[in-house]
Structure formats: structure tokens, C-alpha cells
Amino acid sequence: MKQQDYNQPADQIQATMNCIKCNRVFSKEDRLASMSGSIMGDEYTDVYYLCPVCRAFTVASWRDNFTGIETLNTSGPMEEHLGMERVELIRQCSRPWDKKCRCAAHRAYFNDALD
């Protein structure tokens, strides 16, 4: 699985997201799910994109640490069935954007490591 670590503030990272496998630019419809959580004061948000061309997932992982610096790391390609397992877990939560949610889906997604 390839990873790109931008190691720069998120506001300096390009606004478009590309498939990590075939480099196609994603549209809004390609974004299937996202989940946010707080671990040791840092906010973690993972966004799952499914490429309709190559059927691979790209995961954008945003990290906002307690210093206020936000970074982006992209990973993939993730096989479609593995990505769909994560998407289905996220969809079990009615508030996946809520970093303070402690539902079963949040706890499972973040391996019971939430604040």
C-alpha cells in the first residue's frame, strides 16, 4: 500500500484528491464515508474514496494535533472489499463526523483508543 505524507499544514495542500492507483481526480460522489475521532487530544478523520474506474479505495487521513497543525496522509490502493468493510462500519454510526461520539462503530473503528 502506497502512502503519501505531505508533512505540511492542510491549508497548503491541494484541494483535489486523486486516486492513488490510477491518478483519476475524485468527484463528490466518489467519497463514500468518513469518520472522526479524538485520541489523546488529537483529532483524526479518515475519508474513504472509491475510484469508479479502477475500483480501488484511497484513504485520506487528516490529523489535527493539539498544537493546531493539521496534516494529510493518503494511503492505498485498498482493495474494494476491504474498503467496503470499513465503509459499512462507519455507516453504522449516525454521527460519524462527531469526534466525541462513543457509539459501537466509533469504538470499533478506533480500536477502543478514543479519549
For 21, the 3-state DSSP assignment is coil
Q: pTM of this prediction?
A: 0.86
pLDDT of residue 24: 97
Mind giving me the DSSP string for 59-113?
Answer: EEEEEE-TTS-EEEEEEEEE-HHHHHHHHHHHTT-S-TT-TT---HHHHHHTTT-
pLDDT of residue 8: 44
pLDDT of residue 15: 66
Contacts of 74 (CB under 8 A, 6+ apart): 3, 4, 17, 20, 58, 59, 60, 61
pLDDT of residue 29: 96
**Would you say 18 and 24 are in contact if contact means Cβ atoms under 8 Å apart?**
yes
Q: How far is CA 15 from CA 26, 69, 84, 108, in A?
A: 11, 17, 24, 30
Sketch the domain layout of the chain as residue ranges: 2-103
List of the chain residues with pLDDT < 70 = 1-15
pLDDT of residue 12: 46
